[in-house]
Structure 1
Amino acid sequence: MGHVELLNVSKTFPLKVKGVQRHARALDNLSFSVNKGEIVALAGPSGCGKTTALRIIMGLESASSGSVTVAGRQINGCGFDRGMVFQHAELLPWRSAVENIKFGLEMKNLAQKEIDERAERFINLVGLGHAKDHRPHQLSGGMKQRVGIARALAIDPEVLLMDEPFGALDSQTRETLQMELLDIHQRTEKTIIFVTHDLDEAVLLADRVVVMVGGHLREIIPVELERPRSDMRRIRSASEFTRKRTMIWEALHEPAKPHELAA
């Protein structure tokens, strides 16, 4: 059993079409597992169910059927064993950067000394010690995402979930944060599941890429690039990088399979 396990997970949403009540299927019998300390990317076109799957793992939504477990425990709503980073950091505007990091720790009812020490540790981990007293409006997009990552990590989750965390950033900031995430993973060994549309990002960061199409699992592609992946130029020029990117692209563009059409 993996550290995170999805077994036959389906999700339907009510949908009214011309006054007739119907159901739209976002996920259909999705099954995959994630090993402890592994980075797994969920890749696929818009509307394929990537974010829905991530939100179900987080406990923000419930599956219509199937099961999700973390470390063998059945998911039942949100919990401190999972932390989530959204595409937009959604920081509390009246709090400073370090106070935003403290928010989740306060929800855990920790002692104030521990809250202060953890917040200080994680603001420094993401390289923002110099800006810890800045309010969100004083931070760049990349800095806000760093705070979001620090906030999620500070509660010490077993699993870090990321929904296109760098998708709204310019390419240079995106590449910087990709490398910082790899460095953070190297130091913390967290289990990470992230959603992306970017095939280069999927291959660069992940140990395996879960390719999804139309709410279905299309293929799981392992990425045999050695870690640590600290030299982006060398990684991108490696034959394995090009080969796996091509495999993902081909998986996304191959004709629909019979079970996908049946849904």
Structure 2
Amino acid sequence: MRPDLTPAALRRAIRSGEFTGNTSGLAPGYVQCNLTILPAEWAGDFLRFCQANPRPCPLLAVSATAGDTALPLLGDIDIRSDVPSYRVFHDGVCSDEVTDITGLWREDLVTFALGCSFSFEEALLADGLEVRNVSEGVNVPMYRTDIDCAAAGPFHGKMVVSMRPFKARDAIRAVQICTRFPQVHGAPIHLGDPALIGIESLARPDYGDAVTVAKDELPVFWACGVTPQVALEAARPPFAITHSPGHMLVSDLRNSQLAIL
């Protein structure tokens, strides 16, 4: 898939089934979003969970009414078909991954779009920093940690983080850059020894792909929008849908619109 496609062109390719891969590095300059879809009776508690945990769950848009498949704030979107891959949950367990949820759609469903770290990767690259998952052409590695999220109703659980390695001076610069983007996870939450946040091995990510970490590099960890999927496992709603990790909703919002200057 050409990385310079516009968001609308990329969504058309996704909608038609032409593209079902991860979206890291695609549609540069535009905001990508994590996705959580829940029955309306669960939506209020999930909204409070996002508000209580803005680092892993930075809320960008919510469907206007239950059953609405559009997110006009983010572009001309049909949420049922414009994500490359979806995960389907029943009672907190992922039971399937599909490329279209039109046949699963219900009139009581509410969609939440959350900021994604793929958006700040553009700013890191523009500053001359290497983003390893982009340079190696793989999905970003993501890990479950032992960091507790604030609970809201039935939603609780441990934070998921994404990781990118940098030399020490570049890690400092990455912190400075990403602080300007709080709506797409902001500054890292940890750098250095992964065991300090409960990660046993960088070579075995819970989601995504492992990347090379050189001996003179520090692993740098950001709060990740896969965290709601862990909260879904804990809350056990009877039905829910999310994006598959790394397979994001690509919006028409520009990353520059979210930056704090």
Q: TM-score, normalised by structure 1?
A: 0.24
Q: Greater relative contact order (Cα 8 A, min sep 6): structure 1 or 2?
A: 2
Tell me the TM-score normalised to structure 2 length: 0.24
